[in-house]
Structure 1
Amino acid sequence: MNQPVIIAEETPPISRSAEQHTLLSHDNSELFYRYWPAIQSTNSQRAIVMFHRGHEHGGRMSHLVDELQLPDTAFFAWDARGLGQSSGARGHAKSFATLVKDIDCFIRHITEAHGFKTDQIIVLGQSVGAVMLTTWVHDYAPEIRGMVLAAPAFDIKLYIPFARQMISMRQKLGGIFTVNSYVKASQLTHDPDRIRSYNADPLITRPIASNLLLDLYAAGERSVKDAHAINTPTLTLVSGSDWVVRKQPQYEFAARLGSSNKRLIELPGFFHDTLGELNREQALTEIRQFTSELFDTPRHQPDLRQSDQQGQGYQHYKSLATAETGLKQTYWQLLQKMVGLGAQLSEGYRLGKETGFDSGSTLDYVYRNQPQGKNWLGRQIDRVYLNSIGWRGIRLRKLHLEQLINQAIDQLQANQQPVRIVDIAAGHGRYILDAIAPRKDDIDSILLRDFSDINVTAGSQALIQRGMDRFGSFQQGDAFDQASVAAVQPEPSLAIVSGLYELFSDNSLLQSSLAGLADAVKPGGYLIYTNQPWHPQQELIARVLSSHQSNQPWVMRCRSQGEMDQLVAEAGFEKCTQLIDQWGIFSVSIAQRR
């Protein structure tokens, strides 16, 4: 990394001095951040973590440390990767999800390096930073105190007609390229000092990678559409005369927000730089009051374990289980016939029709990702089928499973514990066998279970073919039978449940299964579990595809990550870390038995 460029912080000068630090994120990229310790003590620690606009850096938020007048509160402000003094190509990242994962790493670093608990933290984000926060809170369900969103960039105004479509098309044809910001400082704020400092700031980065811009739009749309899954106390500040982003999605987000403590304030005449406006004291007063109230009262954690019987997600699930009528019914019936025609040519569609699109056989076929069909047309249909966003997410989930399985094995070995693995619903077992294939000598035992005879037979053959039958076995078993799961032998130090709980809406089934796993795994052992907090094709799947369960429609209820984590915690496991795909569909988490 090149030597960082040090520039003066915002004027007027702040009375608190910033410490300068770095951390290594999930891929060992070095991120720069500033830390302002509190100058007054209270009975509990308090921290506000700030996330800047796109193109900018944390130094441009430093004026807030004094202006918010919260001497008992510590402040942090990072430079996002590719911006400011952090590492990475300027304006670039692998994906928007990479930046969101950086947030998770940053908050975890603050708790470990500076001694703050997660529930002592409030996050504050402007524009792009605010969308990163809503995505993080939705996908990772952190138990923070609250969040403040200033002019969240859920929908950026691109004044050229069809600009978004043109950017997407150019990227598909020629790969990732950079888009320069058209926004002038005078369109961000009325404050002449802020305008001058913006124009003179050598760390402002105007280019943004095309993939990040497109990902930003997708993340913003998802945050608004699925806001009911967010239960974090939230203050949303809307700039009344914003040239950069549209206001309507901000109102829709606030209206749909699942939190019982939510506020929206529109600030008339404000430009996009809400917290750097000339009359920003109006905004700061709202933030000061909101954050002080959150810190001064006990944190309220809503009980999400009844979400299988109530709430917006449950109501949506029930509506998908109800047959459509009229033109909608005709439309879905046409798509069902198209799937039937596809099954005559495409191997993937044929397998799904015969065994269920959620079966272990289908999943194993998706993992192999080798288009097959009766002829050239059949293979092309199969290629499109395998490339659907849901199946791409499934294959990325497999990679995340392999990563966390190996991480758990490493940790067990570091703790001098035996590596005894059990998977209670392994399907054909491909993902776990692929994960341990390079390190078979590190495994003491592996027990794979599944309810389906077909899966047990195929999985047993896979064990033999890979030479793992000498330390492994495949048995039939019910993953929801608490006593059966609790009695598995040998006693596991690593339990895995992947792709199972997503297929069942009833939380009582999960509670029985997780209780059995808690009985089986002793303190210090690990649990790896998956979840599906959101799916862009949820209605399509429910109306068109069939399940392995008696060939009924495949109707899924998406569980928020918070709901899933609460069920795991109830059983006696403490979540350690999480991975999730860039579309926010499938998460993989690891938790330790307390």
Structure 2
Amino acid sequence: MTHTPNTNERSGKRQPLALPLASPVDGLKLYAAEWPAPKSPIGVVCLVHGMGEHHGRQAAIVQPLNEAGFVVFVYDQRGHGRSEGKRGHSPSITHLTRDVDAVIAEARRRYPSLPIFLYGHSMGGNVAVNYALRHEAELAGLVLSSPWLRLAFQPPKWKVKIGRAIGRIWPTFTQQAGLASGALYRPGHPNPAPAKDEWSHGSITAAMFVAMTDSGEWAIREARRIRIPLLLAHGTADRITSFEASRELFSQANPATSTFMPVEGGYHELYHDPEGIATMERITAWLRERASELLH
């Protein structure tokens, strides 16, 4: 196992180690970072964030994983945060999954002897499950948190048809997602996301919307081909992505290696909900169990 210590760790203040990466599909520069484990690591988790946000909003995920002994690799997806690209845009799902490939390759290069897990939230959950299916990745496990397989609200069919037509002739046409205030999580978590955030945005292009819509439905249909252990967590009161779609994907997956974790009354960002600490304890316990099975 190789590990380059972060110089900030020596001063007692832990900071992520920046890892500039380039997309293998078009060379676009991706901002990535590694959070080293504070003790001897038991595994690596590569984290894929949701639509309009960036890796910096996910401290409530990173911290408990770190404390449990996992190295965490984070990055800003193309068109998000400090990565390059038009805001809220990807030409296809392939561009997004190939970007994941770059992060996982770097994690594997730096920690060749450790099990590697992929953890995707919301839009990142769609990207993560598509990566697992399309790349037939050799991963230790897959965690999906409130994945965007379908939206919790269905836009009118005529709007979808117009959106697809626009996407064919003007793929970078941009609209605002228009999420309702308070739809992400309920107040009460001791480590809430910042109220104002210069790196977040509400933009989504026509091509990105079509890519997410089609790849979500494809993943549900192909879920039986998921070969790796799966943990799928979703709140029953999610107003953004569909709880029922997650349950449908789980029903198609291998029951011997898949776990469904419904969170009663949970909103979209389960890790920022009032029960977020307990939710992350359950997810972390599942990851630790998988890692332990592989290391012993």
TM normalised by structure 1 equals 0.45
Cα distance between partner residues in 1 of 2:162 and 2:194: 29
Change in CA separation of 1:160 and 1:262 when aligned onto 2, cut-off 3 Å: closer
Cα separation, partners in 2 of 1:274 and 1:244, compared to 1, 3 Å: same
| 1:89 equivalenced with 2:100 (yes/no) | no
Aligned equivalents of 1:285 and 1:244: distance in 2? 24
Whole-Å separation in 2 of the counterparts to 1:184 and 1:195: 21
State the 1:193 CA deviation. 7.2
The structure where helix makes up a greater share of residues is 1
State whether structure 2 residue 52 is matched by structure 1 residue 55.
yes
Give distance in 2, aligned partners of 1:221 and 1:173: 23
Q: Which amino acid aligns with 1:256?
A: Q
The 2-side partners of 1:16 and 1:262 are apart by: 34
Match for residue 70 of structure 1?
67
SS of residue paired to 1:205: coil
- In the alignment, the residues of structure 1 paired with residue 132 and residue 255 of structure 2 have an alpha-carbon distance, to the nearest angstrom, of 12
Map residues 322-401 of structure 1 onto 2, 5 A cutoff: none
Identity among equivalent positions (%) equals 21
2:31 and 2:82 in contact (8 A); partners too: yes
Contact 1:186–1:195, Cα closer than 8 Å, also in 2:
no
Distance in 1, matches of 2:56 and 2:169, equals 37
Paired residue secondary structure (1:17): coil
Report the residue type matching 1:60 in the other structure: R
* Pair 248,172 (structure 1): closer, same or farther in 2 beyond 3 Å: same
Counterparts in 2 of 1:263-302, with a 5 A limit? 263-298=259-294
Which 4+ stretches in 1 moved above 6 angstroms?
192-196
Distance 1:21 1:180, change over 3 A: same
Q: What are the residue-to-residue correspondences of 1:4-153 with 2, within 5 Å?
A: 16-26=14-24, 27-41=26-40, 45-68=42-65, 70-112=67-109, 114-117=110-113, 120-153=115-148
Compared CA separation, residues 173 and 182, structure 1 to 2 (3 A): same
**Residue of structure 2 in register with 1:413 after alignment:** none
Larger RCO: 1 or 2 (CA < 8 Å, sep 6+): 2
Shift of 1:67: 2.9
Instruction: Measure how far apart 1:194 and its partner are.
Output: 9.2
> 1:185, CA displacement in angstroms?
4.5
Structure 1 segment 451-470 matched on structure 2, within 5 A: none
Are 1:189 and 1:273, in contact at CA under 8 Å, matched by a contact in 2?
yes
> Is 2:203 the partner of 1:207?
yes
Alignment of 1:156-305 (within 5 A): 156-158=151-153, 160-162=155-157, 163-172=159-168, 174-191=170-187, 197-258=193-254, 260-298=256-294
| Offset of residue 196 of structure 1 | 7.8
Q: Distance in 2 between matches of 1:71 and 1:157?
A: 32
Partner of 1:351: none
Query: How many Å separate the matches in 1 of 2:111 and 2:192?
Result: 37
Give the Å deviation of 1:33: 1.2
Structure 2: distance between partners of 1:109 and 1:30: 14
RMSD value over aligned CA atoms? 2.3
Please say if residues 126 and 151 of structure 1, whose CA atoms lie closer than 8 Å, have aligned partners that are also in contact. yes
Question: SS at the partner of 2:91?
Answer: coil
CA contact (8 A) 1:146 1:234 kept: yes
Aligned mates of 1:234, 1:155 — CA distance in 2: 19
Q: CA deviation at 1:299?
A: 7.7
Give, in whole Å, the separation in 2 of the partners of 1:273 and 1:211.
25
Aligned pair in 2 of structure 1 residues 201, 194: CA closer, same or farther (>3 Å)?
Answer: farther
Where 2:199 maps in the other structure, the secondary structure is coil
What is the aligned partner in structure 2 of residue 566 from structure 1?
none
Q: CA offset at residue 80 of structure 1? A: 0.3
Within 2, Cα distance between the matches of 1:282 and 1:166? 42
What is the distance in 2 between the residues matched to 1:96 and 1:198? 29
Which of 1 and 2 has greater Rg? 1
Letter in 2 for 1:203: W
Once residues 145 and 20 of structure 1 are traced to their aligned partners in structure 2, the CA distance between those partners, rounded to angstroms, is: 24
Between the aligned partners of 2:201 and 2:93, the Cα distance in structure 1 is 17
1:195 offset after TM fit, Å?
Answer: 11
For residue 198 of structure 1, report the CA deviation from its aligned partner.
4.8
| Segment of structure 1 superposing worse, 149-158 or 253-262 | 253-262
8 A Cα contact 2:87 2:203, kept in partner = yes
TM-superposed CA distance for 1:79, in Å, is 0.4
**Does the Cα contact within 8 Å between 1:185 and 1:198 map onto a contact in 2?**
no
* CA deviation after TM superposition for structure 1 residue 262, in Å: 1.0
Distance 1:66 1:157 in 2: 29
In the superposition, the TM-score normalised over structure 2's length comes to: 0.88
For 1:175 and 1:283, locate their aligned partners in 2 and report how far apart those are by CA, in whole Å.
38
SS at match of 1:296: helix
* Contact 1:236–1:265 (Cα < 8 Å) also in 2: yes
Secondary structure of the 1:49 match is strand
For 1:63 and 1:282, locate their aligned partners in 2 and report how far apart those are by CA, in whole Å.
11
Cα distance in 2 for partners of 1:230, 1:127 equals 18
Q: Provide the secondary structure at the position in 1 that maps to 2:20.
A: strand
Write the distance in 2 (CA, Å) between the matches of 1:299 and 1:252. 32
Q: Which runs of 5+ in 1 are unaligned?
A: 1-14, 301-594
